[in-house]
Structure 1
């Protein structure tokens, strides 16, 4: 019985093709949480794909109905081996973004895993089906070698992450004692670079808001009324420029973060952005001046205009449009006064002379960041480095947003995220894929992490 044997079992599981077959079956289930008619399939994924595998590992599982009406249920499970052993909470999600089948290239289907060289294509394969499948397979490898896990394991698994994780916070609050643990270990998002095993300790928060302006008298002829009637499209363009300038710098002082902590700056100092094959070139002089690209992504706030509309671009007419709208997104780090965003944006627009623009907050989630000096961080780094022989890239937080607030704040857990994808995976887009070498290495390193957890009190 040894760590090396467990890792060898995991490697054999991958090399034999069993992992590919399992992943192919899971990707074939079109678990699009945005579609009301997917409800039976979402429940099937929980019971037949996740619960059935966990039961083989001795978990006691329950399907928990979502407190939000019409939203998919959760799976909650636990395997308690000894009160003296550490308890780990696991998390994953089985729902995916819409398949967008018409836009996949080279005859690929979103619902069929297709291997081309080192790339495996399929909708949801990176986000999150390969990732949670790796973690479950790693648990199984440890269990097969040791005859037990060596630690207590709990899991909460959802099917609504791609629609904002409705009900997840409420379920965590409701089951606070049942989900209590020493730490969370989960996998989502990309590595910082494909070859680099990565750990991140939280995520930036995200806040979506809509700006709207209209006139009460409708569209009017631009020749007869141009120059004397305010144009909603012009007002919106200038209002947006007042929020974020032509170099991508946020101009709302109240929504800037505090200075970057020294330990955070040290952790991202040597990171390079956009260096993997297929990555887009970075825009020169874009974003907050005086920061490195890594500091802009992992340690600062960004404001992006996601969509805007005025008139009919496909068939324009010579008229001042009746209305204009824009949807924006603020990505923010810990310490940002984001709960006052509506008040701060409205005050800024008023100061800039844009009194007629309505601000609506449409979605939000807080930022989290575990202290990089937490002992569990050191544990994860040492375990992964022992398996891979590589230095771990440690990110204070993910540049994107995941529902970590539920675990870090509601449950009060240290949170360790070990991603198994990479930045060029095209998640949410056509031709979503994962890299086979990354998955194979991830299966090995997760087996090592779970093995080492069972050694904590031995």
Structure 2
């Protein structure tokens, strides 16, 4: 970055951090109806921030759910147009009792900003806004054309963003989409994410008798929905961690020797991970490393299970119902709807007697991949090297951002994921935080990235 831009960022850093704190303080929980007013507040707050940064045509655009915030600056003829995507919604803060400080009363402690949404995605999103502000307030222009598309439903799988993109495709047209919404490979190891796993989420509900029954009078004579649920879930995976649903792996590409050789420098310390997570050992699909299991292989995880008496002491009953929430992470050519069809077939085949089973799909998202040698990815590598003082590594993320594949498909543009978070920042968990060192380095990296893109053609 130029001395002028650098000086501006240093001078305004304290204000920028206060603004991030103000942003995190808004409890913009998209999954809760009680926070609908806060969702609107967050959208308006973001729109105001875009205007103050110098962006034009700023608008809070309604959808069938929470609004999308748009803004642009399009005065760099012949240069690429980048569409910056981010989200202002956050996960629920529960269990709130496990937070050291209140989740929506953000604090800075030991160089980290603590609060729900600090790393996912408010501080990372804000690096883009402050980068644009620094250029426009010092040089009066940006190196490239920039558009912002900031949504409020990412944490609930973006149900209204796909139709919004299709309706607004012309307005949102861009040469590339840039997203900062995840962790780097490790502390001090910048990375560029070239792949994301897809997602298939569903709920299983099992109904038994019309009401809870006395286990002394009916136990052993009526099917127990909790037992049936446990039996059904256990049928989906074997002792080696291999998913036993017929056809589940059909569209998964086997890892090659070249794949494994390329991932060797990224391998993490199993003992260190076990210690950090406070588990006796790691677990997963037999024949694969921790990194392979969490990035390049599909999964099936039970996210929650419920049924029967949950209060203090024992209530000896045959429960009337039970249920579970399950998610699958998908890779390569796996399609969430095809996987859901395979799961339904498996459940029909293995349904225990004496109960009724219903399944409802809740989440779907396709996997995504961009080649590391793509020009926009190589420009990002140069930018990271400048901003972090170290060349990035190329990774595949174990997480899912379902809308990434939709952006790429609907707008016909590559997606560049430039993350500034860290794996240990408790994304979605208690005491979520963001390292402020990466706030500064992230802005420096983006400043360089917009310069790097100047040498590449724009067609949007």
The corresponding residue for 1:369 is: 369
Q: Is 1:267–1:395's contact at 8 Å kept on the other side of the alignment?
A: no
Range with bigger deviation, 292-301 or 19-28:
19-28
1:264–1:396 contact (8 Å) kept in structure 2: no
Aligned equivalents of 1:419, 1:380: Cα separation in 2: 11
Q: Secondary structure at the match of 2:173?
A: coil
User: What TM-score results when the alignment is normalised by the length of structure 2?
Assistant: 0.89
- CA distance in 1 between counterparts of 2:328 and 2:370 reads 21
- Point out the more displaced range, 275-284 or 204-213: 275-284
User: What secondary structure, in the 3-state scheme, does the structure 2 residue paired with 1:249 have?
Assistant: coil
Aligned residue among 338, 347, 350 for 1:349 = 347
The aligned runs of 1:57-456 (5 Å cut-off) are 57-66=54-63, 68=64, 71-100=65-94, 102-103=96-97, 105-106=99-100, 108-256=101-249, 257-260=251-254, 262=256, 265-273=260-268, 275=272, 279-280=276-277, 284=281, 286-314=283-311, 315-352=313-350, 354=352, 356-456=356-456
- 1:18 to 2:12 alignment: no
Kept in 2: contact 1:210–1:326 (CA 8 A): yes
RMSD: 2.7
Deviates more, 1:159-168 or 1:123-132: 159-168
The TM-score, its normalising length taken from structure 1, stands at 0.89
Q: Does the C-alpha gap of structure 1 residues 10 and 454 become closer, same or farther in structure 2, counting only changes over 3 Å?
A: farther
The offset of 1:260, in angstroms, is 4.0
> CA offsets, 1:332-359, max 9 Å, x none?
1131142123321132234445474322
Give the superposition deviation at 1:185. 0.8
* Partner-residue secondary structure (3-state), 2:216: helix
Q: Deviations over 1:157-200 (max 9, x none)?
A: 11222233231111100011111111111110212212221211
Aligned mates of 2:93, 2:25 — CA distance in 1: 11
**Bigger mean CA deviation after superposition, 3-12 or 428-437:** 3-12
Which digits, 9 at most, give the CA deviation of each residue in 1:290-312, with x for residues without a partner? 11111111111111101112211
Structure 2 CA distance for aligned equivalents of residues 353 and 52 of structure 1: 53
Q: Secondary structure of 2:265's partner?
A: coil
Runs of 5+ consecutive residues of structure 2 not aligned to the other structure:
none
Tell me the CA shift for residue 64 of structure 1: 1.3
Q: Report the CA distance between 1:44 and its aligned residue.
A: 3.4
2-side partners of 1:324 and 1:149: how far apart? Answer: 56
Q: CA deviation at 1:76?
A: 1.8
Conservation of the 8 A alpha-carbon contact between 1:252 and 1:348: yes
1:444 deviates by: 1.6
User: 1 CA distance for matches of 2:292 and 2:279?
Assistant: 14
Whole-angstrom CA distance in 2 between matches of 1:276 and 1:8: 37
Say if 1:284 and 1:122 are closer, same or farther in 2 by CA, change over 3 A: closer
Q: Name the SS for the 1:357 alignment partner.
A: strand
Using the TM superposition, give the Cα deviation of residue 151 of structure 1 relative to its aligned residue in structure 2, in angstroms. Answer: 1.1
Conservation of the 8 A alpha-carbon contact between 2:47 and 2:70: no
Contact 1:421 1:435 in 2 (8 A): yes
Against the structure 1 CA distance between its residues 246 and 323, is the aligned structure 2 distance closer, same or farther, given a 3 Å change threshold?
farther
Cα distance between partner residues in 2 of 1:120 and 1:441: 15
